[in-house]
Amino acid sequence: MSDNEYEKIVHKLAFAAINEQRRARRWRIFFLFAFFAYLTPVLFLILNLGGDDYSGRVVDEDGKHTALVRLSGVIASGEEAGAETVISGIEAAFSNSATKAVILEINSPGGSPVQSSYIYDEIRRLRGIHEDIPFYVVVSDIAASGGYFVASAADKIFVNQSSLVGSIGVRMDNFGFVGLMEKLGVERRLLTAGENKGLLDPFLPEDDIQKAHLQAMLNEVHQHFISAVKQGRGDKLSGQADLFSGLIWTGEKAIELGLVDEYGTTKSVARDIVGAETLVDFTPKNALLDRIADRIGASVTDNIWRNLGESIQYN
């Protein structure tokens, strides 16, 4: 075989290999597009990319339903249990013409005092506007601290005997590394404009004046919490001395203390109390891109607070 013939064979084999790679790439692209074409409508349904439309839902024979909104997890801005999300669900529930009563199902250990207060105030406002629509809270596992703050805005609160309720208090977390810094031989150098700008710096000794200021601030926020609970629960509350001490109780004990009203589940309240057994869930479901953006924003905020070493929470 001559060199010329050998080169022709090599060229043919090379071009054949290239063509085969091109065909394989085309098939990969085709299957990739087919996969996404199949996945897109599935995601649309699962993630509710088109939003919720509550008109035309199935209702009971009298044309009414019980509206349900869920508050689950830590109450914080940017989270599913944040004020913006929960309030939008409650507003939609109240404004629906077929709503006979609204149930807020809570399973939360607490969270931001501000976010909790936003939800509480909006519930009170909507109850005033829609006086003919009862607003009930059903506690599943826990409604503590900020979770109970929100619950206290309801007409009635229903629990399981083993639900955890209470923790009416405020906390601020911080760490001190002064002793460790001394052992490591590390000197802290901090420049501030404003003598208290280094408030609660974990690498500096605790300052009694700053500590007293923060304690007074916590007491003030705690009083906001107590006032809201008293406004919401009224004379149902017992006079027990440690009611607002931050202790937590079972649902059974919480009934005795007047923190909650009686036993019940979401279904039993809709069936036996409201008289509209059909439940329509008005809990907002964010679009996928919104969830991603919110998660990134919340992560950035959380990291900033962690770096500061400070947090004020109803939990």
Q: What is the DSSP string of 21-82?
A: HHHHHHHHHHHHHHHHHHHHHHHHHHHTTT----TT----TTS-EEEEEEEES-B-TTSTTS
| Confidence (pLDDT) at 46 | 47
Please name which of 131, 127, 166 lies closest in space to residue 260, comparing C-alpha atoms: 166
| Confidence (pLDDT) at 310 | 42
Between helix 83-95 and helix 113-129 the angle, nearest 10°, is 10
- Residue-wise pLDDT tens digits, 238-287: 988 999 999 999 999 999 999 999 999 999 999 999 999 999 999 998 64
Q: What is the pTM of this model?
A: 0.72
| Confidence (pLDDT) at 41 | 59
Q: Residue 43 corresponds to which tokens in the numbers above?
A: 């995601």
The answer to whether domain 65-175+183-313 has CATH 3.20.20.70 is no
| Confidence (pLDDT) at 266 | 97
Residues in the chain, pLDDT under 50: 44, 46-57, 287-289, 300-301, 304-306, 308-310
